[in-house]
Each structure stands twice: as C-alpha cells, then as structure tokens.
A and B are shown apart, each in its own frame.
Chain A
Amino acid sequence: MATTRRTFFGAAGSVALLCTIGGEEVEVTAPEQADAVAARVKRPRGAIAQAVPQIQPAPGGVRREYWIQAETRRWNITPKGRDEWHNRRIAGRNVFTAYVYREMTPGFAGPAGPAKMPGPILTGEVGDVLVVHFRNADTELRQAVTMHPHGVKYNPEYDGAYMGEFTRAGGFIAPGETFTYQWECTPDSVGVWPYHDHGPNHTLNTFRGLFGTIIVRPKGQAWPNKTYALHAHQLVPAVTKLERTFQCINGRAYAGNTPTLRSRVGETVEIHAVGMDSNFHTFHIHGHRWKDPAGVYTDNPAFGPNEVVSARFVEDNPGRWLYHCHVFTHQDAGMAGWYVVDP
C-alpha cells in the first residue's frame, strides 16, 4: 500500500501492544497471541465467591438492577464507508472481531439492546446500589473477563479486577459464568465514570471494546434533555488485524460513522468524553463553549486514559457542527463527528 498522508497518520500507534497476562509478558502483534496466554490463566484460589455480601441501598435509595453480558461480535468501524467531513471514500478492510458488553433482559432471557461499543450506560442516584448481573457469554476466546467500575464504592469482592493470587470473586468470570456485582452510589460518586474489563487479558479486551459508562447524579436531580457519552480510543492492527489504525469514537471512525449528536435550541445538553486508550485526547465542539470544573470557559479540554471531561450547556446555536479530538493525528484518522442542532 502506497504511503499517503492518511495511511501515515493511520499507522501512528500501530506498534505491538505489550501486555502482562497472568504473569507472562506478551508482545501482542495479533490478538491470538494474547488470547492463547489468557486461556491458560487458571482460576485463582481466592476468586471463589463465598458469602459475598448483599449491599443494601441507603435510606431512600433503590437497588438498580442491570443484566449485562460480554460477547464477541463482528464490528464494522466505518459502516458507511465514507468520511462525511471530507466527503471521501474510506478504502480497505474495516471489520474486526470486537468484544463488547450487551444489556440483556432479566435472567439473560434475551437482548435488551444491541451488542455495541460502548456498553450500556449505567445510571444511579446517590443512595442507590447498582446491581449488575454479569455473564461471560463468550465461549470462543476461552478466557475470563470482568466488569471493573470507576467512581462508585465497592468492597474487594466487587472490584472486578484480576490480581493474580490476590484475586477476589468478581475478578475472574470464566466463560459461561455469571457474577453479580454490587456497587454503591455514594455522595462522592457523583459524576461520570468508565467501566471496563479488568480480567487477566484486560488491556487487549478493553481495546477490543469491553468498556462503558456510569453516571451517578445527586438524589432527585433532573436529567438534562440530552446526554451523550463519547469514548475516544484507537483500534490498532495488533487488536483488529486490519492494515491500519483507526482513531475512533465509540468504536467508529470518521464523521458519519461516529455518533451524530442531536439537540434543539433551548435544550440542556451534556456530552461526556471518556479516554479509553493509552493516549491523551482533547474534546472540541465547534461553535460552543462551557465552564470547566474550575469555572473557566473552555471549548477544548484535555483528558487522559480513563479520564472524563464533560461539556454542559443550554443549547443556543443551531447548525451543523463538528466535534473532534484536537490531537491532529487523531482527528485526521477518524476521531471526529457531527453535532446537529435544530432551531
């Protein structure tokens, strides 16, 4: 393939991943290497669930139940095959095997939504307990996965982290198994947080799509008219086995494929940008500005791995706008999208 500006930017970051999986250091140039090592990781002795505590909500709170399973699926990074921003065709292979969270109906009876990247948004108010029934529904990759939350309160059983011999019950959910996480929404949990896989092969599996969003609000606070969560991440050849790196938002690359956000003038809007790779990004929306947590107006805040920045404003500027990461190599390799405001 001839080197062009596009393939040059696309190749950025496409070197092998270096992962440590179950005590083995693995230089991953293709996912099968890491999967084979992860499949050999044995269940730690401490990872057996024994009398896991039932967490009760604070007075006035409720137990909010979710049924979520992890599954693999074929995922098209550029389903429209075009970059609408630059009105050009996107050539080359664009489909890979992703690993994603999917919301299910109670008892995992059936899908409650699509298997997609990111997983479902989990919401709670202060005082609630997020009760997440989690199932590892993938049997092909033969490895344990988990759900590890940020921001909420939990005891070690519900950490969802593989830690070798120190692993607790929620840190090793083998294929076919279920485990119920219980996470408390405390006053200091208010905010927007990621969740992601933290099993033995967590770096690769998070890069493949096992991530999502948690939103905790103060009790009784009204929701904005529109809430969006955008995860900025790259999909590199070592993960996808494709020829090039895609700079993605929610698993898609280039405007028209990435989420098109919509609102109307007068609506309250919240857009949360989450870093979900090993890079630093910025979140820029054309035609808009908002106050950061320090009270300073901004239109391009920076955020790092698993960090969240939030844009909150009352919409007053109709039109078609771009949003994108302002790291130019990311923006030019797909990390951009549309924000459409109706009058």
Chain B
Amino acid sequence: MLAAPGVASAQTYPEPKDPGPVAPKPKGPFETHTVCKRGCAFKKIQAAVNAADAGDTIRVRNGVYREAVRINGQKKRYLKLIGNRKHPEKVLLRARGSMQNGIAVNNADEVTVDGFMARGYKANGFFFTNVNGYKMNHLIARQTGVYGLYAFNSIGGSILNSEAYYVNDGAFYIGQTPPQDKPKRTIVRNVSGWGAPLGFSATNMRYVTITKSRFYNNAVGIAPNALDSEKFPPAEENVIIDNEIFWNNFNFHQGKPPFPVRSEGTAALVPVGTGILLFGGKGNRVENNRIYGNFLAGVVAIEGFLVEKTPAARTLERNQIKGNRFGEDGTDVNGMDLVYDGNGTGNCFSMDGVSTTFPADRSTFAGGCDGSPNVFNQTVQQALVGWIGENAVKAWNKHPHPPKPGIKPLEIYGS
C-alpha cells in the first residue's frame, strides 16, 4: 500500500503504461514445453519461457528453481505456466541473492500462472503489471519482500485458491486499476492472506470482487484506499462479499517479525487491530462478511485525507456496508464493530447486528442510505487519526479468542 513499487526497487519495475485492449488470441498451433531438473527439454523455467510462443503451455515439474522468471511482451500472451496445482509448494521458486520477483509478467495479456510457491524474493512473489487479463491460481507466496501476489496497473483478472504470508506490506495487492467505461471485473476467490501488515492492500483498486476468502492475523485485514502515490485515486466499485475477516491484531511493530519491518509508508501507519479499512473510496460494497475478533474495529471508514493532488478523490461516496455478521454472536467481539467519521455522501451502513460503534451515539452514520450527505464530525476524525500504527493498541478491546482449528492468534511475533 503506498508507493511500494518505487520504494522497493524502482530500477527493476517496468514503467506503468496503458494496458490497452486485450491482445488477440493467438491461433496456434500450440506447443507444450516441459521443465524439470533432469531429462526434460528445459532445466530453467526462463529458458522455456524464452522458447515459447504466444498461447503455448509450459509444464514445470516438482523441484526447487532458483530463478526470477520474466514474461515480457505480447509475444508471450496467453502463455500458461503450470506447476503442481494440488501441491504448489512442490514447485518452489526460491530466491537467490537479490532476485526481485518470483514470476513477473509485464505487458503480456491473458497469461496464466498456476501451481507454484515463491519464497524469499526481495520484491514480490508473483507480479503482473500492464496486462489486460490475467490468472493467478494455486499460488503460495512466503516471505516475499513487499507483496505476495500483486497485480498493478492491470485490467480484468482472477486470483484464485492462493495463500500469502509473512510479507512486509500486503499479502495480496491490486493497485492502480485504470478507470474503464465498461469495466472488466477482477475476481479474487478462496485466498488466505495472513501474517502481514495488510492481508489485502488495495490502493486505487477498481472493479474487484473479493469473496470466499480469509484475512486474519494481519495488522489490517483488507484496506481499499486512496493515495496520490499511484495514479487514478480513489478505490472504486469494489465488492467485498462473503469473506471471513478475523483476529487482525498483528502488531508487527513489536517483537521480531519474520520480515524486514518498514518504518515508513502507509503500511507502517495502518491502525493495528482493524478488520476492514475504507480509507477514502467510492461505490465500494462490504456485504455478508463474518468480521470478528479484531481488537480495534471491524470496519473503519474515514476520509482519504492523504490525497492532496486530486481533492475530489478524498471523499467517501456511495459506499455500502450491510449484511455483515460481527463478533460471532458475542463470543469473539470486535473492539468496535463500525467506526466512521461521517465524511462524504451516500455512504450507507446497516446497523443490523451491530453492537458497538464509534462514535457510540451513531451520529455520523445518519443519512446516506437515501443518497443524502452523511454527518461529518471533525472530532471523531481526529480521534481516528490518533489511532495511527500501533497507537491503535491503546484503544483495543483485547480478549481471548475461542480456539480455531489450525490457526493460532498472532499479536507479536518472536516475543
């Protein structure tokens, strides 16, 4: 979240460009290239990529591959890079030295990457940029420098059945989606983001549906946000529906987290203990999620006050927060279920099933559902700003969580 591409490694990132219309589907005939350690046509994935034409399939057998794969340009469009869909961890991309990305796709539309694990890269596990159409499926990213699975300046893709953890910014990140008059939606389904400052970071993200996924043990679960550091603020027309967002109380500022902690940038500033943070944004919908055990708040909505270049992008407009289940019937409550500074117009909050709010008198939540202006309160906003970073811990409602099979709460790592 925030200028991470530039901060992380500006020299290795391609410049963003207009992804343009989707490239035509290649006509074939298509070939399948096989990669393995011994006895295959290729030993290196990159060598197979270099030999492949648009639309070809590259099958990578189990093994450890110490390389940073690049798929560049429309001559590689519609390429399918297939590892082990059932056991992605058996096709391991392991960084060596200062390798930046496990697999980086730039300006090659409709590429599929399916069935890999990436570990230890300085920048990202799987990185798609400047593409129209992409598919990431059955991927695992662990201890990658900035993001786990990352799509930037791209249009219409899917991120499915994947996991990312122990990264120092967003486990998943979709950013700077170009505005489109007839949007191609991106679908994120059945992913898990945990052990990171942000489970899902979404600076200026558009037209994305996040569903049937889990974001837990992060500082913040999901954060659609508006920033000047990337083009096209704010986050717009996203749908966060039917997810489980819980236990996001990872105070990575303390202890010895399994990644280099960033002391600057927005990731360092996110209020620890938050399920969903709407930091500016228009037309976003947060519906039918289970949100519990987040010690600061379940959902926080606040003006995108860091936006300066495009003031119109600061305001919260037409966001809908409804139908969510908070606090697991009182057994694992949030510090506060809903928090809102009252900024903007037409922001609609359903109070069904909501136990606690900030402000407690619910005054800022009035109006909005009929398209009217909401009730802004400067004092409330200042209180929210005071919860930056680990300052939020002071406002926590901390309590034990009911046990959950296979998952332990993470508040301080290595303490």
Contact = CB atoms under 8 A, between A and B. Distances in A.
Interface of A: 48-50, 56, 105-110, 135, 142, 169, 173-174, 176-179
Interface residues of B, number: 23
Contacts of A108: 185, 187, 209
Interface stretch (B30-38, B95-103, B145-153, B176-184): B176-184
A205 B242 CA distance: 33
B182 A109 contact: no
Given A106-B239, A107-B211, A142-B25, 8 more contacts: A49-B181, A107-B239, A109-B239, A169-B181, A169-B182, A177-B182, A178-B182, A178-B207
A109 B212 contact: yes
Nearest to A47: B182
Interface string B1-38: 00000000000000000000010010000000000000
Contacts of B60: none
B209 A176 contact: no
B285 A109 contact: no
The 5 tightest CB contacts between A and B, nearest first, are A107-B239, A107-B209, A109-B211, A49-B181, A177-B182
Interface string B200-219: 00000001010110000000
B189 interface: yes
B92 interface: no
A109 B242 contact: yes
A24 B348 CA distance: 49
Interface of B: 22, 25, 133, 156, 180-185, 187, 189, 207, 209, 211-212, 238-239, 241-242, 285, 287, 371
A109 B22 contact: no
Interface centre among B207, B209, B285 (most CB of A within 10 A): B209
Contacts, number: 54
Contacts of B182: 49, 169, 173-174, 177-179
Nearest to A52: B181
B239 A178 contact: no
Contacts of A142: 25
Nearest to B243: A109
B185 A178 contact: yes
Contact of B156 (A107, A109, A176): A176
A11 B272 CA distance: 70
B25 A176 contact: no
Nearest to B132: A176
A60 to B, nearest CB: 12
Given A142-B25, A178-B207, A106 B285 contact: yes
Contacts of B238: 107
A42 B144 CA distance: 42
Contacts of B185: 107-108, 135, 178
Contacts of B183: 177-178
A50 B181 contact: yes
A109 B238 CA distance: 11
B133 A176 contact: yes
A255 to B, nearest CB: 39
Nearest to B25: A142
B161 to A, nearest CB: 14
A109 B241 contact: yes
Given A173-B182, A174-B182, A106 B25 contact: no
A257 B30 CA distance: 41
A97 to B, nearest CB: 18
B189 A48 contact: no
Contacts of B187: 108-109
Nearest to A177: B182
A48 B371 CA distance: 26
Contacts of B287: 106
Contacts of B184: 176-178
A110 B242 CA distance: 10
Contacts of B180: 177
A173 B182 CA distance: 7
Question: Considering residues A106, A110, A169, A174, which has the most beta carbons from chain B within 10 angstroms of its beta carbon?
Answer: A106
12 contacts: A48-B181, A49-B181, A49-B182, A56-B371, A106-B239, A107-B239, A107-B241, A109-B211, A110-B189, A142-B25, A176-B156, A178-B207
